[in-house]
Amino acid sequence: MTAKFELFKDAGDKFRFHLKAANGEIIAASQGYTSKAAAQNGIASIKANAATAETEDLT
């Protein structure tokens, strides 16, 4: 199994997604979106930007 995004509706009727690792663990959780399209845009943004995102160490 590879990593995957899971798109779903929460109890408050908002769209959310999880990014799950290959072992099934949730490694990222989204905010609540009012539309499915907005949640899908959030997924697309992560796919487009995460690979080049810098890490800021605040420790």
Residue 34's pLDDT is 98
Check residue 1 and give its pLDDT. 75
**pLDDT tens digits for the chain (59 residues)?**
799 999 999 999 999 999 999 999 999 999 999 999 999 999 999 999 998 999 999 99
Distances (CA, A) of 14 to 8, 19, 41, 50: 8, 17, 14, 24
What is the CATH number that goes with domain 4-50? 3.30.160.160
pTM for this prediction: 0.88
